[in-house]
């Protein structure tokens, strides 16, 4: 039976880690993810878990320790944010290239410089092509649930890739919400035991990890990573189906909120979806057919499914909480418009860069986007498709 509780997003993530009880957690503190290993270290200290907690000297070392533990055959987890993820950069790629199913909580924060400790998605978008599965979380419940599903996905024999669960720094990480927790014993049963096929401490199969991979091999190994990422899409859906049967909470690659008959749609990730749902409800009362597509799984990118879900609308706005600085729109926007082109979907689409450095995005801001979409749908005039939301000129 589920347990009703009140927790912050960081507490929820640490609780999920406690219930998973990984073999190794290695971490270095950085705002706003610091509380996750901090809370977890208390579980280690009081004997609630038997995890080996490694307090390292940097985030680079944290990911290095997780790589070593996972390569040896252990289940490893960590947490970080922003500049910490940047310092992990080398090891992020090594973790995915070695096909090590490490699970990381990424509490999204602006990457310096200039220094800013508040929320945007520049950290996650900076590693979007590093070979990690990426899941986003609207609220504390979703962050908790995503972590419970994470190991089942990452450790699947057809996947074997690391996975990060993202949530918005401070907005959800430090905000207390009602949450439904599952029983420890039921979590352990659902997550299961990690039984890798190949690992360093297997005396029956001596192997090397991370050897030089020259011209005759690297191309094929990268193609195998891409195959595993494609395969993870179905695994994510299968695990979500099992999760729904267990908890009653349903998840897909994305969430469609009043999208079936929508004429105007916004695409966004993380906590902005909650604000957008409020605005959708308000506009529906006014007879405006607004809808939302909340992207949950960003890697693998569900381009075909998104194209199908949005094909019927008259205008789409994609909200990016980071700027690719490429004069062609944010990361999610370029992925969606590329998918539209491939799947022959012709829907007028505009991009908004918003919320950089934690800039507040209010219901009025979201409502103004729908107003812009009304104009686009009526006239077909995109104007300048690359826009800013809430920017002071």
Q: What pLDDT does 389 receive?
A: 98
**What's the rounded Cα separation, in Å, for the pair 12 and 145?**
9
pLDDT at 263 over 90: yes
Cβ atoms within 10 Å of 377's Cβ, excluding its own: 17
- Lowest model confidence (mean pLDDT) among 99-108, 206-215, 307-316, 322-331: 206-215
Q: What pLDDT does 393 receive?
A: 82
- % of the chain with per-residue pLDDT over 90: 99
Three-class DSSP category at 280: helix
Q: What pLDDT does 24 receive?
A: 98
Question: 117-131: per-residue pLDDT in tens?
Answer: 999 999 999 999 999
Domain 3-247 shares a fold with domain 254-389 = yes
Q: What pLDDT does 356 receive?
A: 98
Q: What pLDDT does 220 receive?
A: 97
Please give the CATH number for the structural domain made up of 3-247. Answer: 3.40.50.970
Report the DSSP pairing between strands 176-181 and 3-8.
antiparallel
Q: What pLDDT does 365 receive?
A: 98
Query: What is the residue-averaged pLDDT of the chain?
Result: 98
Three-class DSSP category at 378: helix
Q: What is the mean pLDDT of residues 12-21?
A: 98
Three-class DSSP category at 89: helix
| Annotated domain spans of the chain | 3-247, 254-389
Q: What pLDDT does 342 receive?
A: 98
Q: What is the mean pLDDT of residues 216-238?
A: 98
Three-class DSSP category at 342: helix
Q: What is the mean pLDDT of residues 303-317?
A: 98
The DSSP secondary-structure symbol of 111 reads P
Q: What pLDDT does 258 receive?
A: 98
Question: 164-222: per-residue pLDDT in tens?
Answer: 999 999 999 999 999 999 999 999 999 999 999 999 999 999 999 988 999 999 999 99
Strands lying side by side in the sheet with 315-320: 254-257, 290-295, 264-268, 315-320, 349-354, 386-389
Report the DSSP pairing between strands 133-136 and 297-299.
antiparallel
What the block records as the tokens of 147 is 């972590």
Q: What pLDDT does 275 receive?
A: 98
Q: What is the mean pLDDT of residues 222-233?
A: 98
Please give the CATH number for the structural domain made up of 254-389. Answer: 3.40.50.920
Alpha helices in 104-217 (DSSP H): 122-126, 140-154, 184-191
Termini Cα distance of the chain: 53
- What is the band of 9 on the pLDDT scale with cuts at 50, 70, 90? very high
Q: What is the mean pLDDT of residues 357-385?
A: 97
Q: What is the mean pLDDT of residues 148-156?
A: 98
Q: What pLDDT does 55 receive?
A: 96
Nearest to 308 by CA among 260, 352, 351: 260
Is 248 within 8 Å of 286 (Cβ atoms)?
A: no
Helix (H) or strand (E) holding 180: strand 176-181
Strands (E), 269-358: 290-295, 297-299, 315-320, 349-354
Q: What is the mean pLDDT of residues 44-61?
A: 98
pLDDT at 143 over 90: yes
Is 169 within 8 Å of 118 (Cβ atoms)?
A: yes
Please provide the DSSP assignment of 68-119 as one string.
HHHHTT--EEEEE-HHHHHHTHHHHHHHHHTT---EEEEEE-PPSSS---S-
- % of the chain with per-residue pLDDT over 70: 100
pLDDT at 1 over 80: no
pTM: 0.97
Among left, alpha and beta (phi > 0; psi -120 to 50; other), residue 114 is beta
């Amino acid at each position: 039976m589920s347990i009703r509780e009140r927790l912050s997003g960081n507490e929820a993530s640490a609780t999920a880690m406690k219930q998973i009880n990984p073999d190794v957690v290695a971490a270095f503190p950085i705002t706003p993810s610091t509380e996750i290993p901090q809370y977890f270290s208390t579980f280690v200290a009081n004997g609630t878990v038997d995890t080996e907690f490694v307090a390292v000297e940097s985030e680079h070392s944290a990911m290095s320790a997780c790589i070593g533990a996972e390569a040896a055959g252990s289940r490893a987890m960590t947490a970080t944010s922003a500049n910490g993820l940047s310092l992990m950069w080398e090891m992020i790629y090594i973790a995915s290239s070695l096909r090590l199913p490490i699970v990381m909580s990424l509490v999204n924060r602006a990457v310096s410089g200039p220094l800013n400790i508040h929320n945007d998605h520049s950290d996650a978008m900076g590693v979007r092509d590093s070979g990690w599965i990426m899941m986003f979380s609207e609220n504390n419940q979703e962050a908790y649930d995503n972590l419970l599903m994470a190991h089942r996905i990452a450790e699947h024999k057809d996947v074997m890739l690391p996975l990060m669960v993202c949530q918005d720094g401070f907005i959800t990480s430090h905000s207390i919400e009602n949450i439904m927790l599952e029983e420890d014993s039921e979590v352990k049963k659902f997550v299961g035991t990690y039984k890798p096929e190949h690992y360093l401490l297997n005396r029956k199969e001596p192997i090397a990890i991370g050897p030089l991979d020259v011209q005759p091999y690297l191309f094929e190994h990268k193609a195998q990573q891409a195959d595993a990422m494609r395969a993870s899409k179905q695994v994510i859906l299968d695990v979500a189906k099992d999760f729904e049967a267990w908890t009653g909470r349903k998840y897909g690659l994305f969430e469609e909120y009043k999208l079936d008959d929508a004429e105007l749609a916004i695409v966004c990730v993380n906590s902005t979806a909650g604000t957008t749902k409020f605005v959708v409800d308000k506009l529906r009362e006014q007879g405006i057919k607004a809808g939302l597509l909340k992207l949950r799984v960003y890697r693998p990118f569900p381009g075909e499914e998104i194209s199908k879900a949005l094909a019927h609308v008259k205008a789409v706005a994609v909200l990016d909480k980071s700027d690719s600085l490429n004069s062609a729109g944010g990361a999610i926007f370029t992925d969606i418009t590329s998918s539209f082109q491939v799947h022959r979907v012709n829907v007028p689409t505009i991009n908004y860069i918003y919320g950089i450095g934690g800039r507040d995005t209010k219901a009025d801001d979201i409502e103004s986007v729908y107003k812009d979409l009304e104009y686009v749908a009526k006239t077909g005039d995109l104007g300048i498709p690359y826009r800013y939301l809430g920017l002071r000129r």
